[in-house]
A = this chain, B = another copy of it.
Amino acid sequence: MGLSRNDLLTIGQLAERSGLATSALRYYEKLGLIHAERTSGNQRRYARATLRRVAFVRAAQRVGLSLEEARTALDRLPEDRAPSTAEWSGVAQSWQSRIDRQIDELERLKVKLTGCIGCGCLSLSRCALYNAEDRAAAAGPGARYLLTRDPSSGPEPHPSTG
């Protein structure tokens, strides 16, 4: 399990240690999330700090960021060393409020479901589940685009061609 040489990781080693597939790491590199030196034979060699960047990206995804957003956040942290408390706390705090919003939305949904049990609900007239008001609010990771259909808030699902 030891590193083969002076602290540089092959893509396979980074994959094993980060829990990601090598193909994912190459993909991350293409997006500019991580970066590797090359051997004379053109193989990638990663600095150990890359492990940190990968962990950061995975955590970012868990808070609901896209890889593109993760890249932006990553740009505000140093590439070659651990961030200082100050550097880190800004990021962490904005993530915390994201998490809080997600938790909040889940709590509200839970209350609605409980209400529905109590009132024998799902009748068309006044079930809370039918009131879509806060659909766009905070939805979990990855789900934002799936559950939002309210044109007055948040990004459009696929504004590409039309």
Interface mask (A128-150 → B, CB under 8 Å = 1, otherwise 0): 01101001000111110011011
- List residues of A (95-145) whose CB comes within 8 Å of B's CBs: 95-96, 99-100, 102-103, 106-107, 109-110, 113-114, 116-117, 120-124, 127, 129-130, 132, 135, 139-143
The distance from the CB of A38 to the nearest CB of chain B, in whole angstroms, is 23
A61 interface residue (CB < 8 Å to B): yes
Is B129 within 8 A of A59, CB to CB? yes
A84 interface residue (CB < 8 Å to B): yes
CB pairs A–B below 8 angstroms (24 shown): A21-B149, A52-B124, A52-B130, A56-B129, A58-B135, A59-B109, A62-B147, A63-B109, A82-B123, A82-B124, A85-B117, A88-B117, A88-B121, A92-B113, A93-B117, A96-B110, A102-B106, A103-B103, A103-B106, A140-B141, A140-B143, A142-B142, A142-B146, A143-B143
Is A99 within 8 A of B88, CB to CB? no
Contact partners of A63 in chain B: CB under 8 A: 109
Chain A contact-residue range equals: 35 or more
